[in-house]
Amino acid sequence: MLEYMTAGESHGPQLTAIVNGFPAHVPVTAQGINRDLARRQAGYGRGERMKIEQDAVEILSGVRFGKTMGSPITLVVRNRDYENWSDIMSPEPAEPDRKRVVTHPRPGHADLPGCLLYGHHDARNILERASARETAARVAAGSLCRFFLHEMGAVVFSHVISIHDAAARTEGFTLDELRIRAEESDVRCADSNAAEDMRRRIDEARGRGDTIGGVVEIVATGIPLGLGDVMTSSERLDGRLAGALMNIQAVKGVEIGMGFRAACEWGSRVHDAIHYSTGAEIHTPGRGPSGGFYHATNNAGGIEGGITNGEPLIMRIAVKPIPTMMTPKMSADLVTKEPFEASKERSDVCAVPAAGVVAEAAVCFVLADAFLRRFGGRSLPEIRARYDAAVRDMQNY
Amino acid sequence: MLEYMTAGESHGPQLTAIVNGFPAHVPVTAQGINRDLARRQAGYGRGERMKIEQDAVEILSGVRFGKTMGSPITLVVRNRDYENWSDIMSPEPAEPDRKRVVTHPRPGHADLPGCLLYGHHDARNILERASARETAARVAAGSLCRFFLHEMGAVVFSHVISIHDAAARTEGFTLDELRIRAEESDVRCADSNAAEDMRRRIDEARGRGDTIGGVVEIVATGIPLGLGDVMTSSERLDGRLAGALMNIQAVKGVEIGMGFRAACEWGSRVHDAIHYSTGAEIHTPGRGPSGGFYHATNNAGGIEGGITNGEPLIMRIAVKPIPTMMTPKMSADLVTKEPFEASKERSDVCAVPAAGVVAEAAVCFVLADAFLRRFGGRSLPEIRARYDAAVRDMQNY
Amino acid sequence: MLEYMTAGESHGPQLTAIVNGFPAHVPVTAQGINRDLARRQAGYGRGERMKIEQDAVEILSGVRFGKTMGSPITLVVRNRDYENWSDIMSPEPAEPDRKRVVTHPRPGHADLPGCLLYGHHDARNILERASARETAARVAAGSLCRFFLHEMGAVVFSHVISIHDAAARTEGFTLDELRIRAEESDVRCADSNAAEDMRRRIDEARGRGDTIGGVVEIVATGIPLGLGDVMTSSERLDGRLAGALMNIQAVKGVEIGMGFRAACEWGSRVHDAIHYSTGAEIHTPGRGPSGGFYHATNNAGGIEGGITNGEPLIMRIAVKPIPTMMTPKMSADLVTKEPFEASKERSDVCAVPAAGVVAEAAVCFVLADAFLRRFGGRSLPEIRARYDAAVRDMQNY
Amino acid sequence: MLEYMTAGESHGPQLTAIVNGFPAHVPVTAQGINRDLARRQAGYGRGERMKIEQDAVEILSGVRFGKTMGSPITLVVRNRDYENWSDIMSPEPAEPDRKRVVTHPRPGHADLPGCLLYGHHDARNILERASARETAARVAAGSLCRFFLHEMGAVVFSHVISIHDAAARTEGFTLDELRIRAEESDVRCADSNAAEDMRRRIDEARGRGDTIGGVVEIVATGIPLGLGDVMTSSERLDGRLAGALMNIQAVKGVEIGMGFRAACEWGSRVHDAIHYSTGAEIHTPGRGPSGGFYHATNNAGGIEGGITNGEPLIMRIAVKPIPTMMTPKMSADLVTKEPFEASKERSDVCAVPAAGVVAEAAVCFVLADAFLRRFGGRSLPEIRARYDAAVRDMQNY
């Protein structure tokens, strides 16, 4: 139902996203999207470019008088540095400046496979698009979806679980506390002690000329029972979420609920018992409508059989260290095939908090699409009424 | 390019898969598919039903004189037990037998969310399709793709890394050894000592009336550099693999390459240095064509920036314990909403080895599709010639 | 939302269709589908094979106790003649019998382009799938959708407008009369005088060893305002209908509403004036809910801007004469490249009435999908309630 | 393979198209795209707005130094008049100016069904997107595809067959003559006598305050045998073309080859005899590679069984008269439901020549996609080499 495309090079004039199939009458503001763009750029351990950019979205179609019209929505984030790159990135026919051609593929990047796949000998033709800069457009599109999810009572947030070996302890916190505390932390971690360790690790990595990764948890609350499907494997929501998360640069692992821990636990301790109560007490924070049925535990992470079960969605991603490093790494020239030490670039040391914001966007998109698949409709009032009816149907089930 | 649909209830007359877009002239036999169907049914710790079934495929379209025609391929696996279920599963209008209606949703299954989503009060309408029985059709479709991958020089296999806390040590083995040894093991584990522990754990679980899960590694060798894409996030191969793997019943986590371990390692130890050699020595077992560029390590698991890099693909899945258990678990009746202890069913104790075979099928499908997206074409000779040309292009790059 | 695949060769064991995304709780019977299969096989001017076949559907998944479960639905139509063809169509590895290899491509068929595209030198590998026999599976899938449309108050029918130069006069008839009279006619024509001419033309064609085509009108009544979309060109309903209709074998033209006649008429005589009335008088036969707005004329054929406008949908297709003919036509051998006179086969003379039934199926599928896109939902009661709410919303607009 | 999205309101800041999956190394210039944009705006009988606009494309991603990079391509066409509309079309939250709200739905437009579908009471929210202004973005995207088709030796052009009852006689002309003469004509008609009649009809319509439509033929030459597919109905090229053409505003009919004329002709006069010759004489203008097989006639319009057969593609569309008219037409107010005479707007009288340019763009897109499906590949040299190999394979077939 919902579709989007992003376009734009890292040093081109702009990033563009078109979102298609978004319902009408949803209140949307550039400020709201800018908030997410700023969150993506924040974080302890980021390099200097982030400050140059100060991303801001322009809404160039699909929104009128503060509300969506139902038509495709164009979101543009300009690259403020483009004027310095207009020669190198010019669309006009020209011979590339030999000296500025990038023939050194960087380990851990798409440079090498991208160049061979596309027959490029200038890795710039790959890295301009492979760069995490592209995620600004994905964040804008996901942030747009957040406005719709807000109308559905759903909230998507992330918090950093670990950076390198500095791991948060989050047992005592409610989901709300996790969200608020992470938002206040420059490493997006709810546990302030662990956050201190994380910053120390980031400093250490910077001192070593190295980089570090980590684990982020993404949580979605207020998700009703019944998104996704079980009848066809490709319609399962867990696969859609996993695919969208793994498609983020640097993500090498995805878990839902207990994830890998479930692989070494007794079944009797994994599966969540089902209870029923009509009382208000079941409306614990974060749970979505489920007709009185609930689970005392949430090891499933809110999805069973590919369908949401009313409990909060819990996902985790493993983010590998940023590949661009001060520490040299061997590589081979694309043209001469000679070995060289991969270029030492000034760079971020740790992009884990930012990855969490990108992951939120990915999840926002998948969930908005899942809502639209479940409730259909091209206008918010209609969708909202159908949602309310579905909640009533579950209560009367 | 390549598409498939599966259909069929667990106790209905048959499972059906249609595979669309499969190229012509690929040698295919029912025996080859049956081998994978049998592998799915084998494994220490399976229940009795496996013996009843003895799955065998019928190829009912798309193959003539042992080769694909290019037309859609119909694969059917009959449920041998259907005659005993024909009353309960009849398509003919009838009143369901009240006593045989399933109103007890089982924790950890799709029963509850499925029934509320679909408005069913008989969980059989959900469990018949949510059952892992459906994977027989997916295995058949994936096995068909394996014939095509074979023609492309690619091999997909799996081996069990751990069951519960019994973990394999695989450092010393070549990929070929892993494959062969896993195939000989009834827990599909290459490390025979660990296999012994695994069987013991399975026995222990059976004794406790409990179930256990584990971790499986899936490996694809002979994969050329250049499958997948980096220019659009939805075309990335890692996301497609992750989505297909997470869509398998009981899978709660997916990793590629170092996976979650990369999140706590220094970047300098994660990224794989790039080397170049025209010599034969680079053709280490498992590597696919990549034009002389290669990596000394494979922490990326064969994918960088969403594109294969010529190294073997390495994926791992976390399989949760089977939810059906002898150990009772609380649940609530769909009609009365009364609590009950979830039904004690005779069942498998551990489906991890089988999950590996299903995961192979999922990977085979994604890879065959990736080959077809890369090389186009509707007939094997044409695809093969294009592949050879691409290998030459990479060598002359 | 709704998807289907068909598979099966003309002389293989069976045709198979899987329909995915069909909602639960829809009453479905094999008899109803068989009725459409029989309608496809009827018609003055059909050859002998029709009698051999007597198509009957088997519902092998997705339906239980007479109602859909929400799972994929498998429909099988067996080819009763298969036993006579099992050698020629065997899936088992074997050398084809040289004498039975078809190297003579027939003009007007897919034989030649199919063989060159697929690298086949035996045209049987193409014609087995290109044959109109495949439409039996499409009719089965469309007929299934008809059950759903019935629940939505929608009716899809067809009537033959012309066969060769014998043209019906239909001005005086209501839509109901057109439907009923066409159903009673062996050329599916509502005008009994024209039907007489049509039969005469068919006889004449048979006498000449020639074939003839014609024009069929497909009508859908009870379609509410608001199916399809205008915001994205690919979501327009007129394009979907045109694509589905042009995909039918032998169809070379598609019109909606006035169609080509609109190209030579003044705009003031083409566009349908809009009126409003809350009274019952506007509920003329065939019109669907539209909130009191209606049009006195229906030159648009029920679609404006890609969206249904509440008036009956009116489409017409041009069906070319069947290419298989007694009259010889020059062609060239696939292997020797020598010219020959295309094989004289016993064949149908006129398939226009059957094409209408296939076209109904195509329209049923597109419309069922359009309903599901508009109303979402996985179960009929939910969809029906949403539909009723949308009707109320339009009344209160 | 190839995908595009367009976005943008008629009076918003800009129209945007993103084209995804376009191969690398294709030479592309803004001038080339501008030429098609100008052709869309030209034509006798256009209103004044065309002059205001003077469309020009900006290429904002995916092209570097005059060649495509393989990344998504962003094409922007600014609406030069936006500054006068920025209040009415502002994305910022604001109360709409009551006096400027459009509550008068125009007959023949999407206004009425669009407003009821989306729950809008200001038809501007629909008409801004439903407007044919959107086709500027589609023309830009199609024109981009033309660059790729050029590299494949394919040419797509259109010429007007009739406007109202003024019909061209085109029998004597070669395809090249048709193309060149149409390009020189301000009604895009190759027959200069008919063109004179057409202009007269346009003047007459303007005098009457009325509008007129017509028929356009779209031709594609240099198309090799083997685009499209026969094995699955949804992969047929004729359906894709018909769908893309019917999705153009004001198109109410689509024909391929003989089209509706085939419905009243003897089969023996419809089907194109197949011949074979290795000689150069078969390379008549317009025919694409087909391995020596050719047809003396082209009644099929270059497609048999859903696959191109090497002959030129011939399609025709019926364009209805522009609905916006000086002549009043009854309609009903969206809010008061009161009848009114539909607003008299200054407007184009005849958009048939422009519709031809839009249709070319639609066909260019479908054909570029069909080439990519057939030949795969992400870079032009690779695709070109595969194409050459396919031509050789057909010659050696």
Q: Could you state, in chain order, the average pLDDT of each consecutive group of 10 residues for chain D (397 residues)? A: 96 97 98 96 72 84 98 97 92 86 93 97 96 96 98 98 97 95 96 97 93 97 97 96 97 98 95 87 81 94 97 98 79 93 74 97 98 94 97 94
Q: Which residues of C touch D257 (CB under 8 A)?
A: 252
3-state secondary structure at position C58: strand
- Plot region of A10 (φ>0 → left; ψ -120 to 50 → alpha; else → beta): alpha
Strand partners, D57: D77
Helix extents (H) in A251-351? 267-270
Interface of A with C (CB under 8 A): 1, 20-21, 70-72, 229, 231-232, 235, 372-378, 382, 385-386, 389-390, 393
Choose among D7, D67, D70: nearest Cβ to A74. D7
CB–CB of B232 and D20 under 8 A? Answer: yes
Q: Is residue C344 a contact partner of residue C325, using CB atoms and an 8 Å limit?
A: yes
Residue D392 CB: number of other CB atoms within 10 A?
12
- For residue B137, give Cα distances in angstroms to B57, B143, C154: 9, 10, 35
Tokens of A238: 């867990």
CB–CB of B267 and A393 under 8 A? Answer: no
CB–CB of D267 and C108 under 8 A? Answer: yes
Q: Is residue B323 a contact partner of residue B108, using CB atoms and an 8 Å limit?
A: yes
Q: How far is B269 from chain C (nearest CA, A)?
A: 46
Choose among A70, A231, A389: nearest Cβ to C72. A231
0.95 exceeded by the pTM? Answer: yes
Helices (H) and strands (E) in chain D, counts: 11, 17
Which residue, among B197, B227, B225, has the nearest Cα to B397 in the 3D structure?
B225
Q: How far is A300 from chain C (nearest CA, A)?
A: 23
Q: What is the DSSP letter of C83?
A: G
Q: Which residues of A touch C5 (CB under 8 A)?
A: none
CB–CB of A331 and B233 under 8 A? Answer: no
Strands A57-61 and A73-78 come out as: antiparallel
d(CA A283, CA B139): 41
> Residue for token digits 């083409």?
C270
Q: Which residues of B touch D375 (CB under 8 A)?
A: 376-377
Q: Which residues of C touch D121 (CB under 8 A)?
A: 397
Q: Is residue D290 a contact partner of residue C115, using CB atoms and an 8 Å limit?
A: no
pLDDT bucket at A95, cuts 50 / 70 / 90: confident
CB–CB of C255 and D252 under 8 A? Answer: yes
> Residue for token digits 């006009």?
A92
pLDDT given at position A48: 56
Tokens of C233: 């060109």
Cα atoms found within 13 Å of the Cα of residue B111, Cβ hemisphere only? 26
Q: Taking the CA atoms of chain D, what radius of gyration do you get in angstroms?
A: 22
Helix extents (H) in chain C? 30-41, 49-53, 111-118, 124-130, 135-151, 175-184, 192-208, 237-246, 267-270, 352-375, 380-395
Q: Which H or E run contains B118?
A: helix B111-118
CB–CB of C72 and A372 under 8 A? Answer: no
Q: Which residues of B touch C57 (CB under 8 A)?
A: none
CB–CB of C376 and A373 under 8 A? Answer: yes
Q: Is residue B258 a contact partner of residue A320, using CB atoms and an 8 Å limit?
A: yes
Choose among A231, A373, A376: nearest Cβ to C374. A376
Q: How far is B34 from chain D (nearest CA, A)?
A: 26
Which residue, among C86, C90, C92, C62, has the nearest Cα to C76 in the 3D structure?
C62
Residues ≥6 apart with Cβ < 8 Å to D160: D168, D182, D185, D187, D188, D189, D198, D214, D215, D216, D217, D352, D353, D356
**Over 80: is that where the pLDDT of A326 sits?**
no
Strand partners, A73: A19
pLDDT given at position B53: 60
d(CA A112, CA A145): 34
**Residue C129: closest C-alpha in chain B:** B71
**Over 90: is that where the pLDDT of B266 sits?**
yes
Choose among C1, C378, C385: nearest Cβ to A389. C385
- Plot region of B68 (φ>0 → left; ψ -120 to 50 → alpha; else → beta): beta
pLDDT bucket at B48, cuts 50 / 70 / 90: low
Residues ≥6 apart with Cβ < 8 Å to C150: none
Residues ≥6 apart with Cβ < 8 Å to B346: B47, B48, B326
CB–CB of C70 and B14 under 8 A? Answer: no
Q: The domain B3-395: what is its CATH number?
A: 3.60.150.10
CB–CB of A233 and B214 under 8 A? Answer: no
CB–CB of A376 and C378 under 8 A? Answer: no
Tokens of B197: 């522990």
Q: Is residue C134 a contact partner of residue C110, using CB atoms and an 8 Å limit?
A: no
Q: Which residues of D touch A18 (CB under 8 A)?
A: 5-7, 16, 18
Give Cα C222 to chain centroid, integer Å.
19
Cα atoms found within 13 Å of the Cα of residue D104, Cβ hemisphere only? 15
Q: Which H or E run contains A140?
A: helix A135-151
B292-340: pLDDT as tens digits: 999 989 999 999 999 999 999 999 999 999 987 676 789 999 999 999 9
Residues ≥6 apart with Cβ < 8 Å to C111: C102, C104, C105, C123, C126, C127, C130, D305
Q: Which long-range contacts (CB under 8 A, 24 or more apart) does A37-43 make?
A: A37/A77, A37/A136, A37/A139, A37/A140, A37/A143, A39/A357, A40/A135, A40/A136, A40/A139, A40/A354, A40/A357, A40/A358, A41/A354, A42/A186, A42/A353, A42/A354, A43/A186, A43/A187, A43/A188, A43/A350, A43/A351, A43/A352, A43/A353, A43/A354
Candidates A252, A272, A322, A352: best to mutate against B (most CBs of B within 10 A) is A252
Q: Exposure pattern of D154-171 as b/e (b: 16+ CB <10 Å)?
A: bbbbbbbbbbbebbbebe
Q: What is the DSSP letter of D82?
A: G
> Residue for token digits 């500027």?
D136
B233-244: pLDDT as tens digits: 999 999 999 999
Chains contacting chain A through 3 or more C-beta pairs under 8 A: B, C, D
pLDDT given at position C43: 83
3-state secondary structure at position D115: helix
ipTM > 0.95, yes or no: yes
Q: Which residue type is seen at D319?
A: V
Choose among B6, B258, B290: nearest Cβ to A252. B258
B139-182: pLDDT as tens digits: 999 999 999 999 999 999 999 999 999 999 999 999 999 999 99
Candidates C28, C61, C85, C380: best to mutate against B (most CBs of B within 10 A) is C61
**Cα end-to-end distance, chain B, whole Å:** 28
- For residue C174, give Cα distances in angstroms to C168, C179, C189, C223: 14, 9, 14, 17
Backbone angles phi, psi at D320, to 5 degrees: -75, 160
Q: How far is D5 from chain A (nearest CA, A)?
A: 7
Q: How far is A314 from chain B (nearest CA, A)?
A: 11
Q: Exposure pattern of A332-342 as b/e (b: 16+ CB <10 Å)?
A: bebeebeebeb
d(CA A295, CA C91): 51
pLDDT given at position C50: 55
Q: Which residue type is seen at C396?
A: N
Give Cα D234 to chain centroid, integer Å.
21
Q: Is residue D359 a contact partner of residue D216, using CB atoms and an 8 Å limit?
A: yes
Residues ≥6 apart with Cβ < 8 Å to C71: A231, B7, B9, B125, B128, B129, C61, C62
Q: Which residues of B touch A289 (CB under 8 A)?
A: none
Q: Which residues of A touch C374 (CB under 8 A)?
A: 376-378
pLDDT given at position D2: 96
C177-217: pLDDT as tens digits: 999 999 999 999 999 999 999 999 999 999 988 999 999 99
d(CA A275, CA D304): 61
B172-223: pLDDT as tens digits: 999 999 999 999 999 999 999 999 999 999 999 999 989 999 999 999 999 9
Per-residue pLDDT of chain C (397 residues; tens, 9 = 90+): 899 999 999 999 999 999 999 999 999 999 999 999 999 998 886 765 555 568 999 999 999 999 999 999 999 999 999 999 999 999 999 888 888 899 999 999 999 999 999 999 999 999 999 999 999 999 999 999 999 999 999 999 999 999 999 999 999 999 999 999 999 999 999 999 999 999 999 999 999 889 999 999 999 999 999 999 999 999 999 999 999 999 999 999 999 999 999 999 999 999 999 999 987 556 678 999 999 999 989 999 999 999 999 999 999 999 999 987 676 789 999 999 999 987 666 668 999 999 999 999 999 999 999 999 999 889 999 999 999 999 999 999 9
Q: Exposure pattern of C165-196 as b/e (b: 16+ CB <10 Å)?
A: ebbbebeebebeebbebbeebebbbbbeebbe
**Over 70: is that where the pLDDT of B283 sits?**
no
Q: Which long-range contacts (CB under 8 A, 24 or more apart) does B95-101 make?
A: B95/C65, B96/B122, B96/C65, B100/B124
- Plot region of D115 (φ>0 → left; ψ -120 to 50 → alpha; else → beta): alpha
**Over 70: is that where the pLDDT of A5 sits?**
yes
Tokens of C18: 């899987």
Q: Which residues of A touch B240 (CB under 8 A)?
A: 243
Is the sign of the CA dihedral A253, A259, A265, A266 positive or negative? negative
Choose among D24, D69, D91: nearest Cβ to A59. D91
